[in-house]
């Protein structure tokens, strides 16, 4: 049989498999061999989806709400998204400015496809969430990375961004709180970035995936700034806020012309997000919100514990995460020792020898770090941090 020439399309080679997904798969493989793995890789809440949300899904099934919906989501859910955003942040989006997607990743992917032309530059602060780089590359754009300072907790200022804005910049991406560092952007700085972008006709995408998980400041949305609607693009997700990672519901709050463009793409690719999940999402947004505060209080406790334990490992530094549920310690002390050349190799050795799964810093654009998700129980945190401590002491 003749092999197909150039079987895989070139555009696929511009992206790589999500490192966080790869870590999860490697950990799962060891687990299936009966090995007791501690998993700090998974970026998802360890809490179950709240019961009121699950019950709404049961009702949707019982009422046979199991057919196609409009590709860009139901009118009911769009309205619920706009209402929740208005209640939480004081914005005034209308359903025509809203699109429901198959999770937060999908809204970001579709946004890039809808906006980026070859050669367009997209400004991305480092460390970045792994997916931004790949979806920009896949759309034919050019990533322009802005370094942040670990000594200042990886926080981003407008002055850091400004020098990177050129005539080719189409979009700036801000993710606050940040995955992987937990850094939170100061409101005044964020507003300044908005002004810099607006003056130059540059879009500002705000990834609000972790917007409710802040430890020492109040949640806000840059979309509530007067005049923001023309250039600010909100990428939202219910995955983390309501412990709904598997349900796959995200949303965009963007100008109507962009909704139309994304809707077109969605109508030929995924069609609608799951109808049952959409009903559950309406309940998540309109029902009681207490579960969010309960999760936040638990993450806060874990954050304090994890940072204190990481800083107690000789040679390890850890900037204090101010939001989300990740710590991003600097483990450079062990790199270059015991045959470990980079953080990727460190993670492979940690998994193979200590049965601890963490994500290498290379996935997020830095080489001296690993990402630890503390969305897991205190008992697991204790076990995993013991393993990390021993591994680093043994090898440095």
Ligand X SMILES: Cc1ncc(COP(=O)(O)O)c(C=O)c1O
Tokens 């409009």 found at: 70
**Distance of alpha carbon 362 from alpha carbon 346, whole angstroms:** 11
Q: Is 125 in the site for ligand X (CB under 6 A)?
A: no
Q: Is 236 in the site for ligand X (CB under 6 A)?
A: no
Q: Is 129 in the site for ligand X (CB under 6 A)?
A: yes
Binding mask of the shown chain, residues 189 to 208, with x at each position contacting ligand X by CB under 6 A: ------------------x-
Nearer to ligand X, 243 or 313 (CB): 243
C-alpha angle with apex 136: 135 to 139, nearest 5 degrees?
Answer: 85
Residues in the chain: 396
Pair 319, 303: CB distance under 8 Å:
no
Q: Is 371 in the site for ligand X (CB under 6 A)?
A: no
Nearer to ligand X, 185 or 392 (CB): 185
What is the helix (H) or strand (E) element at residue 44, kind and residue range? none
Q: Is 73 in the site for ligand X (CB under 6 A)?
A: no
Q: Is 325 in the site for ligand X (CB under 6 A)?
A: no
Q: Using the rule CB under 6 A, give the single segment among 85-93, 99-107, 334-342, 366-374 that binds ligand X.
A: 99-107
For ligand X, the binding residue among 74, 179, 263, 373 (CB under 6 A) is 179
Question: Smallest gap, in angstroms, from Cβ of residue 243 to ligand X?
Answer: 11
Pair 135, 115: CB distance under 8 Å:
no
What is the helix (H) or strand (E) element at residue 280, kind and residue range? helix 275-286
Question: Smallest gap, in angstroms, from Cβ of residue 130 to ligand X?
Answer: 8
Question: Smallest gap, in angstroms, from Cβ of residue 308 to ligand X?
Answer: 24
Tokens 């990834």 found at: 207
User: Which residues between 244 and 263 bind ligand X (CB under 6 A)?
Assistant: 245, 250
Q: Is 133 in the site for ligand X (CB under 6 A)?
A: no
Q: Is 41 in the site for ligand X (CB under 6 A)?
A: no
Residue 119 CB partners (closer than 8 Å, separation 6+):
140, 141, 142, 168
**Distance of alpha carbon 255 from alpha carbon 114, whole angstroms:** 12
Question: Smallest gap, in angstroms, from Cβ of residue 389 to ligand X?
Answer: 26
Q: Using the rule CB under 6 A, give the single segment among 101-109, 224-232, 296-304, 339-347 that binds ligand X.
A: 101-109
DSSP state of 321: P
Tokens 């100008």 found at: 255
Q: Using the rule CB under 6 A, give the single segment among 102-110, 142-150, 212-220, 309-317 that binds ligand X.
A: 102-110
Nearer to ligand X, 22 or 383 (CB): 22
Q: Is 237 in the site for ligand X (CB under 6 A)?
A: yes
Across the beta sheet with 250-253, the strand order is: 98-101, 250-253, 232-237, 203-207, 169-175, 121-126, 142-147
For ligand X, the binding residue among 19, 91, 175, 231 (CB under 6 A) is 175
Nearer to ligand X, 91 or 245 (CB): 245
Q: Using the rule CB under 6 A, give the single segment among 103-111, 156-164, 344-352, 373-381 that binds ligand X.
A: 103-111
**Distance of alpha carbon 387 from alpha carbon 390, whole angstroms:** 5
**Distance of alpha carbon 82 from alpha carbon 91, whole angstroms:** 8
**What count of other Cβ atoms lies within 10 Å of the Cβ of residue 83?**
14
For ligand X, the binding residue among 104, 287, 321, 332 (CB under 6 A) is 104
- Which of these, 164, 218, 212, lies nearest to 186 by C-alpha position? 218
Nearer to ligand X, 239 or 266 (CB): 239
**Distance of alpha carbon 77 from alpha carbon 65, whole angstroms:** 14
Task: Point out which residues bind ligand X (CB under 6 A).
Answer: 43, 103-105, 129, 175, 179, 207, 209, 237, 239, 245, 250
């Amino acid at each position: 049989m003749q092999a197909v020439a150039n079987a895989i399309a070139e555009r696929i080679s511009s992206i790589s498999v999500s490192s966080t997904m790869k870590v999860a798969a490697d950990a799962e493989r060891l687990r299936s061999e009966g090995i007791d793995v501690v998993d700090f890789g998974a970026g998802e809440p360890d809490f179950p989806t709240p019961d009121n949300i699950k019950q709404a899904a049961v009702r949707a099934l019982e009422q046979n709400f199991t057919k196609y919906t409009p590709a860009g989501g139901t009118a009911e859910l769009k309205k619920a998204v706009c209402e929740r955003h208005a209640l939480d942040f004081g914005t005034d989006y209308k359903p025509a400015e809203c699109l429901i997607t198959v999770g937060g990743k999908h809204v970001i992917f579709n946004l890039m496809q809808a906006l980026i032309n070859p050669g367009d530059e997209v400004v991305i602060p480092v460390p970045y969430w792994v997916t931004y780089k790949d979806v920009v590359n896949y759309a034919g754009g050019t990533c322009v990375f802005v370094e942040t300072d670990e000594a200042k907790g990886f926080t981003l200022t407008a002055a850091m961004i400004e020098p990177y804005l050129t005539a080719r910049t189409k979009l700036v991406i801000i993710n606050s709180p940040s995955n992987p560092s937990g850094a939170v952007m100061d409101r005044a700085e964020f507003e300044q970035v908005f002004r810099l972008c607006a003056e130059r006709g540059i879009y500002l995408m705000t990834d609000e995936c972790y917007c409710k998980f802040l430890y020492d400041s109040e949640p806000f949305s840059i979309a509530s700034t007067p005049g923001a609607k023309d250039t600010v693009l909100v990428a939202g997700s219910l995955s983390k806020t309501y412990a709904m990672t598997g349900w796959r519901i995200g949303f965009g709050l963007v100008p109507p012309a962009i909704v139309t463009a994304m809707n077109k793409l969605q109508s030929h690719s995924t069609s609608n997000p799951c109808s049952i999940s959409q009903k559950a999402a309406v309940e998540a947004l309109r029902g009681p919100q207490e579960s969010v505060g309960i999760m936040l209080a638990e993450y806060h406790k874990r954050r304090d514990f994890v940072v204190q334990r990481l800083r107690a490992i000789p040679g390890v530094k850890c900037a204090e995460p101010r939001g989300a549920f990740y710590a991003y310690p600097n483990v450079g002390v062990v790199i270059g020792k015991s045959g470990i050349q980079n953080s990727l190799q460190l993670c492979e050795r940690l998994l193979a020898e200590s049965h601890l799964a963490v994500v290498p810093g290379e996935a997020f654009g830095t080489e001296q770090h690993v990402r630890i998700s503390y969305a897991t129980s205190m008992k697991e945190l204790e076990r995993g941090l013991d393993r990390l401590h021993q591994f680093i002491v043994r090898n440095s």
